[in-house]
């Protein structure tokens, strides 16, 4: 509890429970450090897990994909038309906030690296996921055993479209008393 009451606590948005592989090779892009996570669309405005205080850039628990520039990762946007586009396929889940918080190590900014978890069977808990559908008005309910996909904001959602790829399975659904969802990557 030390430090948590002050709001200056290390990021706890992602808790690794079982790690298959961690990739530390890929680099961040400028967008990986500056992208707006709140207010970009109706879904992100309605999301109760995001706010105007949400840091910019890739967030811990956000789904990442390979960037258009060789050797980079970006926040996944959930679009891969007919699974033919080689970029924007989900490759894993970011371990840290790229920008960090004040008075905390900003290793993503300093190193330019974007480490992420990957591999079928990786299990983690996160409090970062979509709470509403793309329209911003349809609330989402997560159910254990159901498939998860990548939203337009790079967050876990249970709503699929024709181009969606299953990225994980809900092991433990979030609740009113515990906002963390336990996910196993596919």
Alpha-carbon span 122 to 9, nearest angstrom: 25
**Using CA atoms, how far apart are residues 113 and 99, in angstroms rounded to an integer?**
11
Over the stretch 96-149, which tens digit does the pLDDT of each residue have? Answer: 888 765 555 566 666 778 899 999 999 999 999 999 999 999 999 999 999 999
Q: How many CB atoms lie within 10 A of CB 145?
A: 8
| Contact indicator for 45, 54 with CB cutoff of 8 Å | no
Q: How far apart are the C-alpha atoms of 174 and 106, rounded to whole Å?
A: 29
Q: For 47-94, how does the pLDDT look when each residue is reduced to its tens digit (9 = 90+)?
A: 999 999 888 899 999 999 998 889 999 999 876 555 555 557 899 999
Name the β-bridge partners of 168. 148, 185
pTM: 0.87
Quote the Cα angle for 148-179-50, to 5°.
80
In DSSP terms, which residues pair with 126 in a beta bridge? 14, 181
What residue spans define the domains of the chain? 14-185
């Amino acid at each position: 509890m030390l430090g948590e009451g002050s709001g200056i606590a290390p990021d706890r948005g992602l808790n690794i429970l079982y790690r298959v592989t961690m990739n530390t090779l890929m680099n961040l892009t400028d967008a990986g450090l500056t992208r707006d996570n709140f207010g970009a669309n109706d879904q992100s405005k309605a999301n109760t897990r995001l706010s105007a205080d949400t840091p910019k850039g890739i967030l811990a628990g956000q789904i990442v994909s390979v960037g258009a520039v060789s050797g980079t990762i970006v926040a996944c946007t959930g679009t891969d038309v007919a699974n033919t586009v080689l970029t924007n396929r989900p490759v894993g889940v970011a371990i840290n906030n790229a920008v960090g918080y004040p008075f905390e190590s900003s290793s993503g900014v300093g190193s330019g690296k974007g480490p992420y978890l990957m591999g079928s069977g990786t299990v983690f808990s996160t409090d970062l996921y979509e709470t509403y559908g793309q329209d911003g008005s349809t609330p989402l309910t997560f159910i254990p055993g159901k498939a998860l996909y990548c939203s337009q904001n790079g967050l876990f959602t249970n709503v699929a479209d024709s181009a969606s790829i299953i990225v994980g399975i809900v092991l433990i659904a979030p609740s009113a008393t515990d906002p963390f969802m336990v996910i196993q990557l596919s």
